[in-house]
Amino acid sequence: MVKWGIVGLGQMANHFANAIKKVNDVKILGIASKSKLKLEKFSVEHNIPKDCLFNDYKKLIESNSVDAIYISTLNNTHIDLIHECIENNKNILCEKPMGLNANEVENVFNKLKETKIYFYEAIAYRAHPQTFELLRLIKEGEIGEVKKVEATFGFKVRKIDKKSRLFNKDLGGGAILDLGCYPISFYNLFSSNQNEQKFISSKGSFSITGVDDYAEINLLDKKNIELFAKISLKENLENKCIIYGSKGIIQVPTPWLPQKKSYLEIIKKNSYYKKFINTDKNIYTIQIENVSKIFSKAKSLENSLLVNVNDSVNIMKTLDLWRSKINE
């Protein structure tokens, strides 16, 4: 059984706690928050025993009652908490972004290489059957050779709050850090070598707090597969992906948060059809189930698409580049 501890009790922690109830051989045996009110409310809502409550993150991570930690605190705290988990030999599932820059992430990568600890970044769509079905269609040549990937993710934040994690630079705010991992990790599923991706162009804008609130990027890899991505905190975008191939295209209407019933649209010169993907579990349950299997068996799953620390390094390198090149 995987004994989970949750560090940080915000919205994503609630998703996690609800989702884990449908996973076998796992249990939440510790929750930590600096807020007594949040601890008490969370424990009641999710039936967590009083002796599993911690008002100190470090004490939970040090506790022998848990062997895996889910990190869902503010972005700027992730790296330090990851290091605490490594020091205490805890397997880790961390909300994105795992760090604020590539140097931080590479330091974790180098440290993890010396251990048997498993680490995954919680980019949940990668575990969903829809993503596997998409890659199966591509591999079988349904639309020929992949030529271009277009990806968008954006929503309008009605009020700019300087204290908000989205708009506070010190807290790791900005559209690129918050949303950029989605199109980049999606493109990396098709790109031949992430270390040989060529930057073409980027543009964007900045909020009154100094963080980027809109950004575009255009990349090209060694096999001439192109990416055009657009993200935003100031407008609602289509939030979809399109993969262009030599023989047709595949549209993914809900790439980032696929539901229990989702579908892909396959469009070719003389045909159009929808490929439906059904599952009885939500996206967070699927992610926890996959990660917990790895933690319990101490063995990676075959053909896993979960975002491991090597993937995280590659993603963060691109996000660093993206941020540095806006409007050049």
Which DSSP string do the residues of 27-95 spell out, in sequence order?
EEEEEE-S-HHHHHHHHHHTT--GGGEES-HHHHHH-TT-SEEEE-S-GGGHHHHHHHHHHTT-EEEEE
The answer to whether position 37 is within a domain reads yes
> Which tokens go with 117?
């600890």
Which residues contact residue 309 at a Cβ distance below 8 angstroms, ignoring those fewer than 6 apart? Answer: 98, 105, 108, 109, 112, 119, 121
| 144 and 274 belong to one structural domain | yes
- Give the domain extent around 239: 128-281+306-325
Separation between Cα atoms, residue 57 and residue 70, nearest integer Å: 11
**141 plus 37 within the same structural domain:** no
Inter-residue contact 328 to 34 (CB < 8 Å): no
The pLDDT assigned to 301 comes to: 84
Q: Is the pLDDT of residue 174 over 80?
A: yes
| Residue 328 banded pLDDT, cuts 50, 70, 90 | low
- Read off the CATH number of the domain in which 261 is found: 3.30.360.10
Task: For residues 22-42, give the mean pLDDT.
Answer: 97
Q: Give pLDDT tens digits for 133-172.
A: 999 999 999 999 999 999 999 999 998 988 899 999 999 9
Query: Taking all residues of the chain, what is their mean pLDDT, rounded to a whole number?
Result: 96
Do residues 320 and 102 touch, judged by C-beta distance below 8 A? yes
- What percent of the chain clears pLDDT 70, i.e. is strictly above it? 99
Closest listed residue to residue 127, CA positions, set 264, 241, 292, 269: 292
Per residue in 108-121, pLDDT tens?
999 999 999 999 99
pLDDT range class, residue 327, cuts 50, 70, 90: confident
Structurally, the chain folds into a number of domains equal to: 2
Q: What is the pLDDT of residues 186-214, one digit of tens each?
A: 999 999 776 778 999 999 999 999 999 99
Least confident of 47-51, 70-74, 105-109, 162-166: 162-166
Residue 218 phi/psi, 5-degree rounding, is: -130, 120
Using alpha carbons, select from 91, 95, 98 the residue that is nearest to residue 122. 95
pLDDT tier for residue 300 given thresholds of 50, 70 and 90: confident
7 and 142 belong to one structural domain:
no
User: Is residue 60 assigned to a domain?
Assistant: yes
Q: Do 195 and 95 belong together in one domain?
A: no
Question: pLDDT band at 303, cuts 50/70/90?
Answer: confident
**Residues 13-35: what's their mean pLDDT?**
97
CATH assignment at residue 67: 3.40.50.720
Summarised one tens digit per residue, pLDDT across range 80-130 is 999 999 999 999 999 999 999 999 999 999 999 999 999 999 999 999 999
What average pLDDT does the segment 257-277 reach? 97
Residue 45 has pLDDT above 70, yes or no: yes
